[in-house]
Structure formats: structure tokens, C-alpha cells
Structure 1
Amino acid sequence: MLRSVITICFFFFFTLSFAYEKRDLLQKKATVADVKNSLVAKESWITYPSYSNRKGWDAFTGSLKEELIKEGEAYLDYTWKVVKASDYLEYERSGSRVAMENPFGANNTALSRLVFAELAEGKGRFMDQIINGVWQSCDMSSWVLSAHLSAQKSRRALPDYREEVIDLTSGDLGSFLSWTWYFLHDAFDKVNPVIAARLRSTIQQRILDPFMQRSDYWWQAFNYKPGVLVNNWNPWCNSNVLTCFLLLEEDKDKLAAAVHRSMQSVDHFINYVQADGACEEGPSYWGHAAGKLYDYLQLLSNASKGKLSIFNEPMIRNMGEYIGRGYVGNGWVVNFADASAKGGGDAGVIYRYGKAVNSMEMQSFAAYLVKAANGKTEINAGRDFFRSMENIASYNELLAASPALPSVKYSWYPQTQFCYMKNKAGFFFAGKAGFNNESHNHNDVGTFSLYVDTTPVFIDAGVGTYTRQTFSSERYTIWTMQSNYHNLPMINGQPQQFGTQYRASDVSFDAKKNLFTLNMAAAYNKNAAVQKWVRNYTLGSNQLTIEDVFELTEQKAANQLNFMTWAKPQLTKPGIVVLHKEGKSVTMQYDAALFDATVESIPQTDQRLSKVWGSEVYRLVLLAKKQQLKGRYKFIISKNESTNSK
């Protein structure tokens, strides 16, 4: 039983999707020979000062120097944590990921703070602790998370010494330690030459060799077949692998082969993403999807002095600008799938991406995020060494940029089928069509979110803390994944189903009418007996109108319309629902002759959810009073005058 559960743990990453267009932008740019001729020496493309260049580091860190040193000082007496075998096994036993991830993450944070403090100060004060951290990392049998070790042939959550796996975190740590070796290997040698030698050998064994020898890591997509999903793992892992090779591989032929191999892999991700550039995993995944693609492309461009660059491709720009279009305000973002409703993105990455694709919209949005954070921006990106260095390098430039939010009235993504609309009354509408096998999928075809003056009113709850259950056959037993806990109907007693075939049809957007339309009938299985369920979203000057037109082939159960809200719905009188939250007030009108209304409280006991929504969210349920084969439902959501009600 245990073996079968673990075997399907990764099913979610292998399931089918139709989003793929064979563009091969990187491979068309260069052959292996072209790559070899384009790559330049490390000394040429790495513009950061060497460890021994103290004046260079003083100039590079500028006003950030003392902050970096202070962060490292907090770890001078750090006790390195042991990740025990039982910590890995806990994933199989209880489904907990954090038993292994917490000590592992604490060590990675400590090492990052110590390395950057030493680079900033340069006096050797942090060196022993850095060596302890490097040595401890090499002593680990694996850098892979317990939740990802099911990629091993054993399918078990304990590292198998007979097999190397490259996942997100092993790649992250390999990349971080490659940069550590690059800057500090001479200093290590002065202590004992075995330190740098062992570090270099360990990265070779865990990253360089397996990447070249294996083609069966799912994220590589080398065995791609039409319909296979390729998500953020691809650019994330490839950017790490590319870093390791660029910093460590001295043989020009081997380096060119590895770089081109990574280009072939990343092309599968670019081919998979829709031309409109939307991130189907949601804004909080953008930094690990489009953002990691940017990191990869920037490293590739840097290492070739711009010869290997596709930043001029419109699709790459579209992918970048998506992050600003989904920003609502006050830290709130449009969230679909497993994305959180909070978090505007990494300002430094957004700014640099904007510069690379010549998007003033992105650069201004990044500056807006910094201004909204009172002039603060993340500098140390933990085990992401490249982003930390680039954050330091672009810090002053970002602070000087002019802040602004994207000014567009609407954003329509016709291939991904996302629609965002805004009006002057402060409404921000976000709706989606799509299908029920998108990356990090929730069964949510046709759902919407609505914000008024940046306050969430009708919401997508997001996802709780990841456990073994989250990416297993039990995924859709979790309430946040189910269509009944999105703003969607339950038809004839049936919710939406998971699978590529469960999708929207007849999807359109009319910019003149501010009308987003889809037919969600095919998102339900045959037991729903639904022939047509067309939903129309129309954004007016001070209201959102939702209209459902449906046809059923059988009458089995009363239709149920579900609406998820942050504020507790007040059923003031039949046909009227009032929502008050953070001084904002909204009224929803429905036909009291057609529906009975009830309100359910959903306690938020999971920390990942409660830190966004507080102690509870609510489900407003409108249950049809009669069964009918054909019908039309209409709901009008309007903004009330300002109120201090909570």
C-alpha cells in the first residue's frame, strides 16, 4: 500500500495538457558549435568583484554592506542541524514535509547569510562557519527534499545512495555552492585544500554528471510526448544546472554540450507556455516560472555577451508583463490554482526582467512595489545566489526608478483564457475558463474573484500547507481543490471533475461590453446531465453582473450556486446579501423566488491559509427552490457607499 501511494506522488506533474507549440526558440538560435563559439571566459562575463578585491566589494555593496554583515553575525554561533533519517521518513509516515524541510532550510539560510557577510566584510571572520556549512552540506546523502525523492527508482522518501536526483532544492544548493566555490575556493585552500576539492567533486557527482547522463528526469522533458505538462520545475532546475556548468566546467566542448542540452530542455517549457504569456500557476508562482526563465536567459546572455539571447521575442515579454497585470493592490494579487492571494512578486527580478525585454511597465511596477514597502526590497534571496548578487547590483537603480501600476483597463489572455477587468469605481474582476488539468490545478473552470478598492470580496482561497496528500491521488479530497469551494455551480448534485477533458468551451471576451463569456458544461461529468451552462460576466460602471444560462438533459437534484467570500455574508432580507470588510461594503442581489440562501463558516486552521485570510472564510450557498431543465440565473454585485462596518 505504501509503495502504491508513493509511486503516484508525482502523478500531478506528468498528467496531460494541450498547451504546446513547437517554437524551439533557443535551439533555432544556436547549434552546439555556435554555443561553443559564443561562450566567453568566466573572467569576461562575471562582473562581480573577486573576494580579494576589497575596494570592489565596498563599491558593489555600498549602503548594503553593514546590513549584509549584520545578517551574517547572527549565525556566527549557529549550530548546524542534522537532517535525520526519521525526518525524511516522516513524509511517508504522516505526510509531513516540514520535518525534513525545516532543518534543511535553516542550514541553507545560515550558509547564505554567512557567505554574503564574508564577501561583504572580507576579514575571514565568518570563514570557519562557512566551512562548517559547506562540509555539512557535502556530508548530506542528498540535497533533495523528502517530498521529491519519490522521483527515485525506489519511490521512497529516504535518499538512495545508489541514485542521484536533481530537484528544485538540490539544484538550488548546487548552484549556491558553485558560486561559493567560485568566490572562496582560494580562501578554502589556505585552510585546507581538501575543502574546495571535496565541494567541487560533490557538485560534479550530484549535478553535472547526472544532468549529462540522464534524460529521464521528468522536468527535463527530453522524453516529451504531446500533451505532457511542463511547469516551473523546468526553468528552475535548468537555471541551476546552467549555473553549475558555467562556473565549474573548464572543458569547452563539454561546456558547450551541457549548455546546449539545457537549451533543448528549456525550449520544452517555452513551447508549453501559451503565447499570451499568462502563468497558469498564478502570480505567486511567477517568480519560479517566468522569473526563473528570466534568470536562465540572463545567465545565458551574460555568458555569451548577448549572442545567445531571445529577450527580443514578444512571448518572453508577455510572460514578464503578466506579473503586473495580476496585481490588485495593497499586496493582493489574482490567485488561481495553488497560488496565494498575497504577494506582489520579487521587485528586483521584475525590474531586471523589465530591463531585459525593454518593458517600462515592468520596471515601473517593480518600483511601485518598493515604494509600497516603504523603500525596502529583498536583497538576500537565500540559497538563490544569483538573485542575491543581482539584487545588490541593481539596488540603487531600482530605488531611483519611477513607480507606477499598469494602467490598462483590462487584460485578456485568449490562449490561457484569463480575463482581468477594472473600472473607475474600484472594481477589479478576475475570471478564468481553461481546463481542469492545468499546472497546480484546482477544479475551477469558470470561477472568478472580485476585489473592491483592493479589498477581496469574492475570493479564491488558495491552497494550504503542502503535504504528501497535496500531490497524490487524494488531492481532490482537499476542500480548496474542489469546485464546490470556488465561485461555481454544483449541477444536478455534481461538482467539476479533474482531467484534461473537463474544460470550458465557447470562451470569448468583448472589450467594448466588458463581457467575459464561457460555457462550463464540459467541466462536469456525464452524471451532471448538463448540456449547456453559459456564464456571462459583465463589468459595469458600479456593478458586476453574473448571468448563468443553462440546459439540462435530466433533473436529478436542485442546482447549487456557491460563492466564497472573505467577509461574512449578511442575509439582511430575501434576495439581498451584504458583505462588509475593511471599511468596504458590497451588496449582492439574487432572485429570492429562485433560491434559498445559507452561509457556512470555514475555519482556517492551516497556517498557510490563515496568514492570508485570518481565522475563517465563508461560503454563501444559493440552493435552487425548484428543479428545471432550462433556466437563467442573474446576480448583481454592486458597491455601497463607504462604511466603517467591519
Structure 2
Amino acid sequence: MLCLLVWITGRVQAGEPRNLLQQQGDVNFVKKVLLAKEKWMPYPAYRDRNAWNLFLGDYKQDLIQEGEKYLTYQWLIVKATDYLEYSRSDSRTIMEEPFNKNLKAISTLFLAEMAEGNKRFMDQLINGVFALCEMTTWSLSAHLSLQQGNNKRFPDHQQNIIDLFVGDVGSMLSWIHYFLKEEFDKENKLISERIRFEIKKRVLDPYMETDRFWWMGFSTNPSQLVNNWNVWCNSNVLQTFALMEEDQEKLAQAVYKTMRSVDRFINYVHEDGACEEGPSYWGHAAGKLYDYLQFLHNITGGQISIFHEPLIKNMGEYICRSYVGNGWVVNFADATARGGGDAALIYRYGKAVNSKEMTAFASYLIKESRDNLKPKEFRDVFRILESIAHNKEVINTAPSLPTASYTWYPQTEFLYVKNVHYFLAAKGGHNNESHNHNDVGTFSLYVDTIPFFVDAGVGTYMRQTFGSERYSIWTMQSNYHNLPTINGFAQLNGANYKSSDARFDNRYNRFSLDISKAYPKEAAVKTWYRTYTLSSKELKIEDAFELTTTKQPHIINFLVAAKPDTVKKGIISLRKEGKEVILHYPYQQFDVEVDTIELTDKKLSSVWGKELYRIKLVAKSTHIKGKYVYTIQKK
């Protein structure tokens, strides 16, 4: 979720110009309703020890104990060669690891000092802050060429760019400055002055002086990508301005600019509210939008608020509907199949949009030990403090899972259908989505919440993941999704490679679509209708096709998480966690091949184990017209 090149993915068409935030009022209205910090700040001052003890409750000792681990921490240097390594070996982790360790130490020391309040952590915190201020950039190595001019991959001291981490660091330092400025000044006023100087140089000035950062969404290109970067960066920028900008006129201008920018993200999102980046990106897409909207609501005393809009509620409830059970989630695109979401964030979002489904789901995640309320996002002070503030509310909420038997997202073309044993996820869409895989028409199937027919997700991010070689990676290719290889050809990436005639009939739990346009002209396919029908007994899959010519035998691919047993003709058995699932196929039409895919990437193996398997049903003959039928049943 940390990096996405704007030219990798786009949009089929521009989103509707809803401009929900700008409809709330112009810059003069913003200036009128902005509150002074002392009126909107919900947290106690550093010196108010009784208030902090009450606010933190059971968290106090945990935060102090975590901070004690860093009292002798040796601050790491992010070396010049760490940045160069991204160009040399494609590794981004060489630079990110020491940087993240330093940021984790700073955040932990800060929270420990706020919890204890006797300055025991202050010196180490000052060391960490000073180390940050001495860095040429707070940007990640993988983001430099995207943001800096002339495709530069090394920190340019003459440019100040804003990426995800620059925003994160700027926001974190702003909170530290707000709470501890007076204590820093007692040591030396240059400490807080240096923080203010660096934040102004790296965040405040660049944000107001340019519209060129792609994530702002101000491009005149109607198909420009506007993804989680937009709300992630704007949420941090808004907090930074609100905490650091003393000039009310400049503050109003900045707040209004964030509103204009975030409107571009809201305009881009489909009305159905689905997150095309998948559930594991929800926290930094819809979730960051919530953070932004909540903070904007706070600093304007609720005078600027769009939580009542159905779209915002739809975006929130997506995370509930994507949950399969037992810690598994639907994972289209680059999302991972494990998770459930940040319970505290889901609860707060649900409370803001009046969604009992979200608040109950958040409580479920807590009660089922799939989550806990311990702060996760160590760089996000706002989320940490808000999680602590809502702790008791989440715990005291009755838990439950969503009860809807199906959820159909007609604009995004995502479908979730479930019954007592099966959870089917299928999709249409196009092959130019954010964090795109070439996967138009694919599906995943869980039986008793166990994954059998799956989407691998994505491996550890590297240069190729977000470059011109993206689709050389097997996890991105349609041949490694549950899709056909037609006349020897796989799907291609691009906005023009898409589904058509996508329909869902909820009377029969039947989803059908034509996936022919997702394949190149060389595939010579006029139509290829894939239909999924889920009943209480089975999933039935039908492929009805028409070609203009025959070239090579079709291959029907199935990616599975259990080793296939292919001994019996027409039957492939899959056994996993004490369950058995049978794939029935017409053996008169197909031969069977099985590929074992060794998972050497830790990100993939941590989800699926050592191996995944690809079943290939290879057509014995190819015809101009034809129909294949397969069924999947729990035994």
C-alpha cells in the first residue's frame, strides 16, 4: 500500500463530480467556522497528569513499559547507499527498515512520556527528533522517482516532496511539538524551532506552493488515478496545518485546498463504495478518508461534515461485507487474504456514519481475538489517541457479523454471496484498477471459512511491482487466477481490457459476465460468458464461448490452496483442515495437469504456507463454439 506509480493504473472513466466537501462552503466559510486549537483539542495538556491518567486507563503501564525498551536505543543512520540500493538491486527494504525502526522508537518514546510525565523519556525523544530533522528527506527511496522531477532516485536537497511517509512524519512531529513544545523549550528553544522549521519546509510550504503531486488529483487528465495516497497524504497534511499554522488566513486556505483535493478522491470512488484495492487497503483508503473527515469535523465544530452521505457509509461497510470468517477476507488485487481490519478504526467509522453493522463487527473482531485495541499504527498519533479514547465503547458493544446473504457492487462489479457452508467472491471490472491484477471474471471460494479456490495476492513489494515489469510477476497474471487461457492467450492490462454485460440475479444467486474484452485480439474470442451460480449444495461454473478461429486448446485455470488429488476421472479432490471439496469437470473434454507453486516469498508464504497449486484443465479439442460446466461441492 505504500507505493503505486500513477502510470500503472488509471480509471475507465472519470468519477462523477460530486464535490461533496466543496458543497459545504467556500474558503470564506472555512475561515469562519475554524475553531481555535483549545476549543477543538479533545486531549489533555501534557502537564495535566490526572487527566492523562484517566484518559489512558489500563494503557498507561503498557505504554511506559514499551517506552522503556527504547531508553538505550541506538539511533540508526539511513545511509546514502540505502537509497542507492533501490536502483542497484530493486530493494526498498534496505532503506525502509532503519527508517521505520527510528520512527517506531520516536513514537513509542513519545507515548511513554505522555503516559508517565516525568521527563524520563525526554532526552531519547529529543535525540530521535533531531535525527529526523537532519535527514535530507522523509520520503521512501521507492517514492522518490515518482515525486521528484527528472525521475531522480536519490534524495534531492533542492526539492521538498510530500509522499506517504513525509506526511506521516510531519503529522507525528506536529503532535509531538503541540504537546511538548514547552518542555523542549526548557531544554533549548532551538529544538521546537527546528521542528517548526522542518515541517514548514517539508510539508506546509510544498503543499501550498504546488499542485503537481499526482496524489492531489489536480491533473486535467479525466482518467487519472486517485487512490489511497490522496486521503492518506491529505489526512496528515490537514493535521499538520491545524497543529502548526498560526495564521488563520493561511490555515483556511490550506484546509480548503485539502477539501478540493479529497473531493477528487470522493469523485473517483464508485457510488457502491467498494474499495477496488481490496480489504487490506481499506484502512488507508476509506479508513484514511474517515480520519480526514473526522478531523475536519473536529476543527470546524461539525460545521463541515459529510458523514450523512450514503456513499461514505457504503465505503465504510465494505470492510464488514468482505470478511469471510476465521480471519480470512476477500483479497482481490494486491490485498492479502488474512486480516479483518482495525477494529478500533472500524468502530469509530461506524459510529460516525451511524452503522450498527460496523460497530458490531468491530466488537466481533475484538471478542473473537482477531484483533485487539492496542494501537497498531505507530506513526499515526491521531489514530492511537482516538483508539484509546473509544476503548470502552468498543468493548461494551454487542458483537455480531453482517447478516446479508449477498452484497452486489454494481459499479465496481464485485459480488459476495454466502450461505451456511459457502462464501463466493467474484468480480468483473477492468484491468486498470488500483493495485490491479489481470483478473476480470475471477472468483474465490471458501468452504466453512476455509480457503480452497483462492487469489494469491501479492508478494513483497519491489521495483518490478510498480514498474513496467509488473505483469511479468506471476501473481498479477490471469493464468494464475481462476480464469481461462483462451486460444493460448492470457488477459492483458489496461482500461480497455474489461468485462461487459455483468449481471447479478439475486433470485438464483447467479452472476454472469462476458470476459472476452479482457483478452487481446489475438485470442480471437467473440464472446466468453462466465456464469457463477451458488446454491446450498454447490457452486456451478459455466463457460459459454464463441471464437472467430481456433488456434490452441483452451486451458481453464484454478488456483487452489490444497494439494489436488486427480486419481479419478472427472473428479479432483481437495482436502484441507479436515474438510474435503470436490471439483467435478467433464473429463470427456479435458485432460488435467497440476502445477506446484513453491512460495519462497515470505509475504505469500505467511498467508498460504509453502505451496499453492494450479489446476489446469486442458481442452482435448477446440471448437468455434462451445460450453464447459464445472461444479464445486463440499463432500
Give me the TM-score of the superposition, normalised by structure 2. 0.98
Distance 1:304 1:11, change over 3 A: closer
User: Which residue of structure 2 lines up, in the alignment, with residue 435 of structure 1?
Assistant: 430
Whether 1:335 and 2:331 are equivalent positions in the alignment is yes
Q: How far apart are the structure 2 equivalents of 1:535 and 1:19?
A: 28
Amino acid at match of 1:308: I
Q: How far apart are the structure 1 equivalents of 2:76 and 2:523?
A: 53
Same amino acid, percent of matched pairs: 57
Amino acid at match of 1:516: F
- Structural RMSD (CA): 1.1
- Structure 1: runs of 5+ lacking an equivalent: 1-7, 641-646
User: Which residue of structure 2 lines up, in the alignment, with residue 415 of structure 1?
Assistant: 411
Residues 9, 473 of structure 1: 8 Å contact kept: no
Q: How far apart are the structure 2 equivalents of 1:393 and 1:387?
A: 10
Partner SS, residue 567 of structure 2: strand
Residues 11, 472 of structure 1: 8 Å contact kept: no
Q: How far apart are the structure 1 equivalents of 2:75 and 2:252?
A: 37
Partner SS, residue 324 of structure 2: strand
Larger mean CA deviation between 224-233 and 238-247 belongs to: 224-233
Amino acid at match of 1:99: I
Amino acid at match of 1:559: H
User: Which residue of structure 1 lines up, in the alignment, with residue 204 of structure 2?
Assistant: 208
Distance 1:375 1:92, change over 3 A: closer
User: Which residue of structure 2 lines up, in the alignment, with residue 529 of structure 1?
Assistant: 524
1:213 positional shift: 0.1
Q: How far apart are the structure 1 equivalents of 2:367 and 2:95?
A: 37
Q: How far apart are the structure 2 equivalents of 1:280 and 1:229?
A: 12
Q: How far apart are the structure 1 equivalents of 2:313 and 2:159?
A: 39
CA deviation map 1:397-444 (0-9, x unaligned): 1111111110100000000000000012x1000000000000000000
Q: How far apart are the structure 2 equivalents of 1:191 and 1:455?
A: 57
Q: Which runs of 4+ in 1 moved over 4 A?
A: none
User: Which residue of structure 2 lines up, in the alignment, with residue 251 of structure 1?
Assistant: 247
1:17 positional shift: 3.0
Whether 1:199 and 2:195 are equivalent positions in the alignment is yes
User: Which residue of structure 2 lines up, in the alignment, with residue 614 of structure 1?
Assistant: 609
Amino acid at match of 1:555: T
User: Which residue of structure 2 lines up, in the alignment, with residue 34 of structure 1?
Assistant: 29
User: Which residue of structure 2 lines up, in the alignment, with residue 291 of structure 1?
Assistant: 287
Match of 1:392 among 384, 388, 399: 388
Match of 2:302 among 280, 283, 306: 306
Residues 464, 609 of structure 1: 8 Å contact kept: yes
Match of 1:220 among 208, 216, 219: 216
User: Which residue of structure 2 lines up, in the alignment, with residue 576 of structure 1?
Assistant: 571
Partner SS, residue 238 of structure 1: helix
Residues 12, 471 of structure 1: 8 Å contact kept: no
Residues 6, 225 of structure 2: 8 Å contact kept: no
Match of 2:159 among 163, 185, 188: 163
User: Which residue of structure 2 lines up, in the alignment, with residue 566 of structure 1?
Assistant: 561
Q: How far apart are the structure 2 equivalents of 1:374 and 1:328?
A: 13
Q: How far apart are the structure 2 equivalents of 1:100 and 1:247?
A: 29
User: Which residue of structure 2 lines up, in the alignment, with residue 5 of structure 1?
Assistant: none
Whether 1:465 and 2:447 are equivalent positions in the alignment is no
Q: How far apart are the structure 2 equivalents of 1:309 and 1:369?
A: 28
User: Which residue of structure 2 lines up, in the alignment, with residue 4 of structure 1?
Assistant: none
Q: How far apart are the structure 2 equivalents of 1:222 and 1:499?
A: 22
Q: How far apart are the structure 1 equivalents of 2:150 and 2:83?
A: 14
Partner SS, residue 495 of structure 1: coil
Distance 1:508 1:208, change over 3 A: same
Q: How far apart are the structure 2 equivalents of 1:535 and 1:528?
A: 16
Match of 1:629 among 624, 629, 633: 624
Residues 558, 623 of structure 1: 8 Å contact kept: yes
- Structure 2: runs of 5+ lacking an equivalent: none
User: Which residue of structure 1 lines up, in the alignment, with residue 40 of structure 2?
Assistant: 45
User: Which residue of structure 2 lines up, in the alignment, with residue 154 of structure 1?
Assistant: 150
User: Which residue of structure 2 lines up, in the alignment, with residue 322 of structure 1?
Assistant: 318
Give me the TM-score of the superposition, normalised by structure 1. 0.97
User: For this pair of structures, how many residues does the alignment match?
Assistant: 632
Whether 1:378 and 2:356 are equivalent positions in the alignment is no
Residues 9, 436 of structure 2: 8 Å contact kept: no
Match of 2:353 among 353, 357, 370: 357
Whether 1:181 and 2:177 are equivalent positions in the alignment is yes
Residues 449, 459 of structure 1: 8 Å contact kept: yes
Q: How far apart are the structure 2 equivalents of 1:355 and 1:596?
A: 54
User: Which residue of structure 1 lines up, in the alignment, with residue 487 of structure 2?
Assistant: 492
Residues 11, 471 of structure 1: 8 Å contact kept: no
1:59 positional shift: 0.3
Distance 1:542 1:319, change over 3 A: same
CA deviation map 1:545-588 (0-9, x unaligned): 00000000010000000000000111031100010011111001
Q: How far apart are the structure 2 equivalents of 1:233 and 1:21?
A: 19
Residues 12, 496 of structure 2: 8 Å contact kept: no
Amino acid at match of 1:536: T
1:224 positional shift: 3.6
Residues 451, 458 of structure 1: 8 Å contact kept: yes
Whether 1:479 and 2:474 are equivalent positions in the alignment is yes
Partner SS, residue 573 of structure 1: coil
User: Which residue of structure 2 lines up, in the alignment, with residue 3 of structure 1?
Assistant: none
